[in-house]
């Protein structure tokens, strides 16, 4: 595995790979790698001849008071995991390399980015979309794989790629989960042992909603309210949002509609740690 830190060097390598007719897959991360990231690499290895992983803690997608400065950065461990997973190139630029002093361009992803995560974290999706477009331009992949855990992020990326006519296939990969159903996340390490036990309520709420829908209930607002009450029954849990949404627009979905797909999305604080999760439902 080759580690690259210079954007121009990475771009030149990607261009050479394309001229050699290599099919390039990219997995974008902020490091602190876990099984979820490695499952994306495994999928990329199955789909692509060359796999590039980007490792960059992007400051423009963190808001004031968020965890940018304490976000885990175990670079040597991450590099070892990337190498063992079969990554060919690890692109790990500095903040200065990605955002030189003269940098001024930011992307506005539109209405999708103003709801839920966008409302909770103003500016987050602008920063995320900007760095994704930059990384696509630097790594020049044919395929980019993103986890469905960040479902709204995935929807925003698909919208931006379509709107800007970027020639890349965006593939969503299923949420990787721990034994009790909690979605794997770099932020899970912030949880105390007691908080970690309480955090399993996110998946229990998803399963509750699934059971209600399997029983034929169509009032999604009511199911969401009941699932939110279940989450908030844990002493250290506080729901930021919990709602069914149209997966293409992220507008709220109040009723189940035959032939339609939606997602149950949630953001929950367990103590001081903010966790997100979602589940896709398809109605017959």
Catalytic residue ranges:
37
Query: According to the annotation, is 259 in a ligand binding site?
Result: no
Query: According to the annotation, is 83 in a ligand binding site?
Result: no
Query: According to the annotation, is 152 in a ligand binding site?
Result: no
Query: According to the annotation, is 185 in a ligand binding site?
Result: yes
Query: According to the annotation, is 273 in a ligand binding site?
Result: no
3-state SS class at 100? coil
β-strand partners of 265: 243, 278
Handedness of CA 31, 35, 39, 42 (dihedral sign): positive
Query: According to the annotation, is 153 in a ligand binding site?
Result: yes
| Angle of helix 124-139 versus helix 151-163 axis, rounded to 10 | 60
Query: According to the annotation, is 94 in a ligand binding site?
Result: no
Query: According to the annotation, is 117 in a ligand binding site?
Result: no
Using CB atoms within 10 Å of the CB of residue 276, give its burial: 0 to 12 exposed, 13 to 18 middle, 19+ buried. buried
Question: How many C-beta neighbours within 10 Å does residue 167 have?
Answer: 9
Query: According to the annotation, is 36 in a ligand binding site?
Result: yes
- 237-246 and 143-147 beta bridge pairing: unpaired
Query: According to the annotation, is 69 in a ligand binding site?
Result: no
Query: According to the annotation, is 30 in a ligand binding site?
Result: yes
Query: According to the annotation, is 225 in a ligand binding site?
Result: no
Question: How many C-beta neighbours within 10 Å does residue 194 have?
Answer: 12
Query: According to the annotation, is 184 in a ligand binding site?
Result: yes
Using CB atoms within 10 Å of the CB of residue 67, give its burial: 0 to 12 exposed, 13 to 18 middle, 19+ buried. middle
Query: According to the annotation, is 176 in a ligand binding site?
Result: yes
Query: According to the annotation, is 37 in a ligand binding site?
Result: yes
Q: Which residues contact 199 (CB under 8 A, 6 or more apart)?
A: 182, 188, 191, 270, 273, 275
3-state SS class at 70? coil
- Distances in Å between the Cα of 158 and the Cα atoms of 48, 109, 225, 265 are 20, 10, 29, 18
How far apart, in whole angstroms, are the C-alpha atoms of residue 68 and residue 215?
43
Query: According to the annotation, is 32 in a ligand binding site?
Result: yes
Q: Which residues participate in the annotated binding site for ATP?
A: 30-37, 147-150, 176, 184-187
Q: Which residues participate in the annotated binding site?
A: 30-37, 61, 147-150, 153, 176, 184-187
Q: Which residues participate in the annotated binding site for (R)-pantoate?
A: 61, 153
Q: Which residues participate in the annotated binding site for beta-alanine?
A: 61
């Amino acid at each position: 595995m080759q580690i690259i830190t210079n954007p121009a060097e990475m771009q030149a390598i990607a261009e050479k790979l394309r001229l050699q007719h290599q099919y390039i897959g990219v997995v974008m991360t902020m490091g602190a790698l876990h099984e979820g990231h490695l499952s994306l690499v495994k999928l990329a290895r199955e789909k692509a001849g060359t796999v590039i992983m980007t490792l960059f803690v992007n400051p423009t997608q963190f808001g004031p008071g968020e965890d940018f400065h304490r976000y885990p950065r175990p670079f040597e461990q991450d590099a070892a995991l990337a190498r063992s997973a079969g990554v060919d190139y690890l692109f790990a630029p500095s903040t200065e390399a990605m955002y030189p002093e003269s940098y001024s361009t930011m992307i506005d992803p539109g209405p999708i980015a103003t709801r839920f995560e966008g409302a909770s974290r103003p500016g987050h999706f602008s920063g995320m979309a900007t760095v994704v477009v930059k990384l696509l331009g630097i790594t020049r992949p044919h395929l980019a794989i993103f986890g469905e855990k960040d479902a709204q992020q995935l929807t925003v990326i698909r919208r931006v790629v379509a709107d800007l006519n970027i020639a890349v296939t965006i593939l969503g990969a299923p949420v990787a989960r721990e034994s009790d159903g909690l979605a794997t996340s770099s932020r899970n390490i912030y949880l105390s042992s007691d908080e970690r036990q309480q955090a399993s309520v996110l998946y229990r709420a998803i399963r509750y909603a699934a059971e209600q829908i399997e029983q034929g209930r169509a009032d999604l607002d009511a199911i969401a309210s009941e699932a939110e009450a279940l989450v908030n029954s844990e002493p250290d849990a506080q729901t930021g949002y919990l709602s069914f949404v149209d997966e293409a627009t992220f507008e709220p979905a109040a009723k189940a509609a035959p032939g339609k797909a939606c997602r149950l999305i949630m953001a929950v604080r367990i103590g001081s740690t903010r966790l997100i999760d979602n589940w896709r439902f398809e109605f017959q």
